[in-house]
Each structure stands twice: as structure tokens, then as C-alpha cells.
Amino acid sequence: MSTDRLELVKGSFEKKALPADVPQKKVSDYFGELVFDRVKMRKYLDAKTLASLLDCIDNGVSLDRETADLVAKGIKEWALEHNVTHVTHWFQPLTEGTAEKHDSLIDYDGKGGIIETFDGSSLVQQEPDASSFPSGGIRETFEARGYTAWDPTSPVFIMDDTLCIPTVFISYTGEALDYKTPLKKALKAVSDAAVPICRLFNPDVSKVYSYLGWEQEYFLVDEALYAARPDLMITGRTLMGHASSKNQQLDDHYFGAIPPRVAEFMRDLEIAGHKLGIPIKTRHNEVAPNQFELAPIYGEANLSNDQNQLVMNLMRKIARKHGFVALLHEKPFDGINGSGKHNNWSLGTDTGTALLAPGKDAKGNLQFVTFFVNVLVAVQKHNALLKASIASATNAHRLGANEAPPAIISAFLGRTMTGVLRKLLEVPSGTPIEIAGKQGKSVGLVEIPEIFVDNTDRNRTSPFAFTGNRFEFRAVGSSANCAGPLTVLNAAVAMQLTDFKKDVDKRMASGAPLDIAVMDSLKPLIASVIDTVCFDGNGYSDEWKEEAARRGLDVETSVPEMFKAFTSPEALEMFTATGVYSEKELAARNEVKWETYTKKVQIEARVMGRMAINHIIPAAIEYETAILKNMSLYKDVFGDCGKLVTDKEILDKISGHVEDIRTKVDRMKEARKKANVIADEYHKALAYREIAESLAGIRRPIDKLEEIVDNRLWPLPKYRELLFIS
């Protein structure tokens, strides 16, 4: 066994970079090749069908069955040209990742032969057996039916030999069983709430888009070493492992040269992504060794989120081709940075105005400040809920640890915007918010310099940071479905915008001009957020934890407890008023969250126990035996001497750690037995949280043993081996 590990390590060092499948073309020649996008729609659909489909996509007008048949016909023709043999509805259940059930396109032709078929009904709706997906008890066992329904706003695509149709997943009684349905509802809610405000400034606005640009962080490890680590394979993270002598302290990995084996993987990933119409733009090394990041050009949130799910699938698949495993877990390795997925988020109108970027004139700036402040108010009111939206058993290892993000949701504004807001509180309403001209000549009282977009100061410790034309929600975990947090964010902003508009309307009804009415409504809001949710200091400091509690922000650190924010009276009111979640859905989803939390910890605890007993203790005892044999030989030759004293000390240390591990593993097993009989999911998750906390205590003596035991006997690839190969 021991030599096996060293062989594996040697093998992985010897692996050569496998060349990527690079097409001899420009990216623009194959970009979107495997997507039924507008270009294909124009080619494969007749004018009338095309017009109806675009009306459906752009304006939400529903498609009749006849048109759906014609759309399906066009898609089928395109798909067969790409040698497609199967079709699947592609959806995002409340598990991690996506789900698909492939059906072959074949059917009898009625003349004794076989033909390929695909019609409107298979495009529009399917009925997968929903009983094996989490539903939090929405579906009683006798009603296992769930439906997937086509989402025309996210284009159909081809993966290998399969035509994939992005769909929502709902229960027989209409409740959402997935991530996409509530996201779509929240996107509609924020548009419905924002449009009337935009129209105060520009009557031509008829739709507001929510944009998402995600930054996906991940680790790569050699696949052979991965296979020798049961913890990585089963839980996605290392449950034990002593820190390497060198990790990220030299800061030499971030933006460093990408190792050739990794570069080839990235090229393959980008090519596959580009063919699927995913505008992958940025790739670089991240802070931790073997950690990388990939980011696309931002896009409409629903589509961009689908693309993130696709990229995660592609990563896992393509990494294997290059002899790697892509780790999307938030904290695969202790002691070095974990992985997040910054959600860059903004709003923009169908007339092309970015609502979270400074405007071109005083009016534009007033509109910008209006949206900016209302977002802050939403984040303030729902800060516990926003935290709950990013909380999970896996992200818990990042939350509150001394790296992004702190377990408190605050917003970073930067000096410029903090200054602007403070000044607005001082000047009379109606004072134009002017932009400094190109020559730097200031013509107004409240300035937003033009260089602003480029010079926002960075604060990496903030979970929700303004970065010039967008907010970066940085607390999202690398393995998460962005739809979870984006649903909450958009719904909370929608609710706040609706309340705000009512206030402005009241003022305008009593005669106030627009700019005065808006500013009079904004002032109390600015005053309420500026010294509460807005915080530009160090989010990792202990003082901030105390200060945040004083400011009334949510400082809960227990993940199962955090989920309760979803069913608080404020959340319930907000979600039902915006039509995003019903009370039943919220309760059911929390059941799923608690259950998932419990299961994840339960699996980790089992793996930890078995590895401790079956891997670590035997290695420790083997080393003990070797020392004892050596001592006995020594004694035979030299008689009792000083050396035996130090050997005895080592033996004491080893058996002390072994004893410690045994006791703690037994205790953990007992705790699990007790937790397992708790019927209620919330209390069970609370009990499992304690078990999760106890794993660190088992890990400590194991990591100490790793430092003592003969390197050749150690049964697991070590951090220095896992982290510095590629």
C-alpha cells in the first residue's frame, strides 16, 4: 500500500500535457455551433413560426401547440444534421447539478421500419418520475408526478449525441421543485417593479433585465491521487491532511503562469463552452496552489446561470480527459483558500441603460442613485435571508473562517459612493447630481467622476461589494446553483422597488416634482443604510462581528439556524407579495435544505470514522511496531541506553494520538446514533451540526500522526503531493 502511494505520486509527476482538440478556426467561426440560437432559428423556422417564438422569448407571449410543433420540426432538422440520436429535458432539481433522462428519437413508422421523431409535445413537456428528487414533502408518495416544461428563453443545445431542452421542473400541483422556476419568477418580479420607476425617467422602457456574470473557482487534482483519497472521492474534500510546508504564503500562484497540463485542459474546456454559446472570457490561476478561475462575459441571469451549470458539467467531464479531477467543493483543503463563485449582478433596461452605473447627466445619476440605494435597503432588510441563500454544509467551511466571506452580509460601497450618499443627505433635495466633465471641471455639488468605473477601490473582505457598474455577491459557494441567491436578491430588490415607487407616487400626487419627490423618498433610506449595512472596513476582523451585532445585522453562524430566515414573517411577506415562493414551497425547501445538510455531514462523519480506523490507526501501529522491533534489536546489541528513552517518547506520542482518535470516533458514532432517531429535520440538522464541528477534533491527532509516521507507511496522498502537481 505504502509504495503504491509513492508510485502514484511519481506517475502523476510524469504525466505529460495532452494536447487540446483545437479546431483550426477562429472562435467566432464555431461559437454557438451547438446551440439553437437566433441564427439557427432564422435558418430552420419559417417567418411566422420565428415571429411567434421570438414573441414568446422576448415578450412572454405563450406558444400554441401548432407553433410548438413547427419549432420542434426545425429543431429536429438541425439536430439530425449534428448526428443527434437522443433528446432530454434538462433541469435543475434541488440536488446539486442538473438532471436529464434521455429518450431515443426513434419510433415505428407504421410501415415496419423506424423513423426519427420529435414533435411539439416532446419539446414542451415531459413527465420524469419525480419521486426520487428532493421535494421536501410537497409530493406525497401517492402523487409522484412532476413535470418538466420547456423554458424557451434558454436555447436548446446539443451535448454529445443528445438534444438538451432547458426546462423548469414543477409538481403536479404546480409547486416549483427546482432552481429555475423561482429564479424566473424573481426576474419577472424585479422587472415588473423596476419598469415603473424607469418610466419616470424614460417612458420608452418596457422591460428590465437582471444580469449575471459568475466567476467560477475550482481546484484540479491528479485523478490517480484523487482515487487514493476516499474522503475526496466521497465527500469532495479532504477530511484530513497536514498542511504542506509551503502553501500559499508566497502568493506565487495567483495570476502565475498556467502549468501546461492545466492550460491544455482549459483550452478544451473553453472550446467546448464556446461551441455551446458560453462566452467564456477569463481564465487564471487563483490564490491557492492548484486553484483556478474561469469567468464568462456577463449575460441575462437565467441564461447565464444555465451556462454556469453547463460549465460545471463540462469541467468535470473534460478534466477526466486530461487526467484531472475538478473539485468544485467550497473547501477541498484546510489551511488554504476555499473556492467561491462571485455573482456579479446588475440591472439594465431594454433601452440599453445600465441601472447600477452612473448616468450621463444629472437625471441619469438620479436614476442610478435610486436603484443603488434601493438595492442597499433590500440587502439591509433581508441580510439574514441573503446569508441563508448562500449557506450550505459545504460553504459553511468558508463562511466566517478567515477568508471570504464573513458570516455577516454587509455592503461595500467604496469611497466615491459613500461620499456621494453622505453629501446627498446634506444638500437640499433637487440638487443636481452632476458628473465631473472630462477636463475634471466639477459643475455640480455631488460628483461622480467619470473615471469612477475604473477606480473603485477593492475590498476583498466584503460579501456584497459595489464595483462601479454592478454589485458582486461574493459569498456564493463554488458548488452552488447561482439561482438560489439570485432569486432572493432579485425578489428582495423587487419588493423594495415597489415600496419605493408607492412613496414617490404619494409625493408626486401632492405636487412634488420628480427629482424632489425621488430625493425626498431616498433621503430617509440613505440615512437608514449608510451606517448599518454599508461597511467598508475589514469584514474578517473580530471587531466587525461585535459592531455588526450592534448595528442589528444578522450574525448567526449556524447553517441549519440560518435557513430559518426563509420562513421568517418578513421573508414570507416578501416572497408571497412578489409571487416568487408560496408558503408551502418555502417550508418544503427548508426541509430539503436541512435534510441535505444532515446527509452531507453524515456522509463525512462516516468516511472520517472509517478512514481513521481503517487507514490511519493501522499505519500508526505499523510504525509503532517498527520502532519496537528496532528498540528490541538495539537492546540486544547495546543493552539499555539513552536512545531508547527518545524512542519511548515517540511511542507514547503515537499511542496517545491513536487513543485520542479511537475515543473521539466512538463519541462521534454515539452522537450520530442519537441524531439519527430525531424525526424532525430541523432538529436533526442542529444535532448534525455538532457532529460536523467534532470532525476537526478527530482530524487534529491524525494530522499530528502524519508528521510522525514513516512517510513510506502513510496510506494517503499528502497535501504537498495533491497540491503541487500539474
Q: Which residues contribute to the site for Mg ion (CB under 5 A)?
A: 342
Q: Which is nearer to Mg ion, 474 or 507 (CB)?
A: 474
Residue 597 within binding range of ligand ADP, rule CB under 6 A: no
Q: Which is nearer to ligand ADP, 287 or 572 (CB)?
A: 287
Residue 162's SS3 state is strand
Q: Which is nearer to ligand ADP, 215 or 222 (CB)?
A: 215
Asked if residue 93 has a cis previous peptide bond (ω within 30° of 0), the answer is no
> What is the CB-side half-sphere exposure of residue 292 using CA atoms within 13 A?
24
> CB under 8 Å to 110, separation ≥6 — which residues?
none
Closest by Cα among 726, 724, 722 to 333: 722
Query: Which does residue 213 bind out of ligand ADP, Mg ion, none, counting CB within 5 to 8 angstroms by kind?
Result: ligand ADP
**Residue 471 · residue 375 · CB < 8 Å:** yes
Q: Which is nearer to ligand ADP, 380 or 459 (CB)?
A: 459
**Residue 45 · residue 53 · CB < 8 Å:** yes
The distance of closest approach from Cβ of residue 203 to ligand ADP in the complex, given in angstroms and rounded to an integer, is 24
The size of the interface with ligand ADP (CB under 6 A), counted in residues, is: 15
Query: Which does residue 447 bind out of ligand ADP, Mg ion, none, counting CB within 5 to 8 angstroms by kind?
Result: none
Burial of 150 (0-12, 13-18, 19+ CB in 10 A): buried
DSSP-based helix, strand, coil % in the chain, nearest 5: 50, 15, 35
Among 36, 78, 298, 714, binds ligand ADP (CB under 6 A): 298
CB atoms within 10 A of CB 120: 19
Q: Which is nearer to Mg ion, 489 or 698 (CB)?
A: 489
Query: Which does residue 470 bind out of Mg ion, ligand ADP, none, counting CB within 5 to 8 angstroms by kind?
Result: ligand ADP
The distance of closest approach from Cβ of residue 346 to ligand ADP in the complex, given in angstroms and rounded to an integer, is 3
Burial of 184 (0-12, 13-18, 19+ CB in 10 A): buried
The distance of closest approach from Cβ of residue 287 to ligand ADP in the complex, given in angstroms and rounded to an integer, is 11
Among 469, 490, 590, 598, binds ligand ADP (CB under 6 A): 469
Residue 294 within binding range of ligand ADP, rule CB under 6 A: no
Query: Which does residue 74 bind out of ligand ADP, Mg ion, none, counting CB within 5 to 8 angstroms by kind?
Result: none
Query: Which does residue 383 bind out of Mg ion, ligand ADP, none, counting CB within 5 to 8 angstroms by kind?
Result: none
The distance of closest approach from Cβ of residue 46 to ligand ADP in the complex, given in angstroms and rounded to an integer, is 35
Residue 344 within binding range of ligand ADP, rule CB under 6 A: yes
Q: Which is nearer to ligand ADP, 39 or 297 (CB)?
A: 297
The distance of closest approach from Cβ of residue 472 to Mg ion in the complex, given in angstroms and rounded to an integer, is 5
Burial of 387 (0-12, 13-18, 19+ CB in 10 A): buried
Q: Which is nearer to Mg ion, 342 or 397 (CB)?
A: 342
Among 206, 282, 351, 442, binds ligand ADP (CB under 6 A): 282
Residue 470 within binding range of ligand ADP, rule CB under 6 A: yes
**Residue 518 · residue 365 · CB < 8 Å:** no
Residue 135 phi/psi, 5° resolution? -135, -5
Grid cell, residue 184, equals 424566473
Residues 200-259 that bind ligand ADP (CB under 6 A): 211, 213, 215
The distance of closest approach from Cβ of residue 370 to ligand ADP in the complex, given in angstroms and rounded to an integer, is 17
CA dist 72 and 76 (Å) reads: 6
CA dist 101 and 629 (Å) reads: 59
Query: Which does residue 282 bind out of Mg ion, ligand ADP, none, counting CB within 5 to 8 angstroms by kind?
Result: ligand ADP
Q: Which is nearer to ligand ADP, 148 or 467 (CB)?
A: 467
The stretch near ligand ADP (CB under 6 A) out of 86-94, 289-297, 587-595, 689-697 is 289-297
320, amino acid identity = R
The distance of closest approach from Cβ of residue 139 to ligand ADP in the complex, given in angstroms and rounded to an integer, is 36
Q: Residues in the chain, how many?
A: 726
Among 208, 295, 314, 377, binds ligand ADP (CB under 6 A): 295
The stretch near ligand ADP (CB under 6 A) out of 28-36, 158-166, 293-301, 556-564 is 293-301
Among 1, 114, 233, 297, binds ligand ADP (CB under 6 A): 297
CA dist 616 and 238 (Å) reads: 14
Residue 549 within binding range of ligand ADP, rule CB under 6 A: no
Ranked by CB distance to Mg ion, the top (closest) residue is 342
Greatest CA separation found in the chain?
105
Element (H, E) at 188: helix 180-201
Q: Which is nearer to ligand ADP, 286 or 330 (CB)?
A: 286
Print the SS3 string covering 279-321. CEEEEEECCCCCEEEEEECCEEHHHHHHHHHHHHHHHHHHHHH
CA dist 28 and 39 (Å) reads: 13
Residue 154 phi/psi, 5° resolution? -120, 120
Q: Which is nearer to ligand ADP, 211 or 544 (CB)?
A: 211
Q: Which is nearer to ligand ADP, 157 or 345 (CB)?
A: 345
The distance of closest approach from Cβ of residue 299 to ligand ADP in the complex, given in angstroms and rounded to an integer, is 8
The stretch near ligand ADP (CB under 6 A) out of 14-22, 225-233, 340-348, 403-411 is 340-348
- C-alpha triplet 171, 562, 313: angle, nearest 5°: 55
233, amino acid identity = M
The distance of closest approach from Cβ of residue 504 to Mg ion in the complex, given in angstroms and rounded to an integer, is 33
Query: Which does residue 343 bind out of Mg ion, ligand ADP, none, counting CB within 5 to 8 angstroms by kind?
Result: none
The distance of closest approach from Cβ of residue 290 to ligand ADP in the complex, given in angstroms and rounded to an integer, is 19
Among 277, 296, 340, 406, binds ligand ADP (CB under 6 A): 296
Pairing mode, strands 464-466 and 411-412: parallel
Residues 661-700 that bind ligand ADP (CB under 6 A): none
Fill in the per-residue mask, 348 to 367: x = in contact with ligand ADP (CB under 6 A), - = not in contact.
------x-------------
Burial of 517 (0-12, 13-18, 19+ CB in 10 A): buried
**Residue 617 · residue 661 · CB < 8 Å:** yes
The distance of closest approach from Cβ of residue 277 to Mg ion in the complex, given in angstroms and rounded to an integer, is 23
The distance of closest approach from Cβ of residue 466 to Mg ion in the complex, given in angstroms and rounded to an integer, is 12
Residue 442 within binding range of ligand ADP, rule CB under 6 A: no
C-alpha separations of 657 from 242, 617, 715 in Å: 14, 9, 17
Q: Which is nearer to Mg ion, 78 or 214 (CB)?
A: 214
**Residue 341 · residue 470 · CB < 8 Å:** no
The stretch near ligand ADP (CB under 6 A) out of 172-180, 294-302, 375-383, 664-672 is 294-302
The distance of closest approach from Cβ of residue 213 to Mg ion in the complex, given in angstroms and rounded to an integer, is 8
C-alpha separations of 586 from 93, 135, 176, 177, 188 in Å: 15, 11, 10, 11, 19
Q: Which is nearer to ligand ADP, 344 or 462 (CB)?
A: 344
Residue 346 within binding range of ligand ADP, rule CB under 6 A: yes
288, amino acid identity = A
Fill in the per-residue mask, 102 to 121: x = in contact with ligand ADP (CB under 6 A), - = not in contact.
--------------------
Dihedral of alpha carbons 378, 384, 388, 394, sign: positive
Report the interface residues with ligand ADP, using CB under 6 A: 211, 213, 215, 282, 295-298, 342, 344-346, 354, 469-470
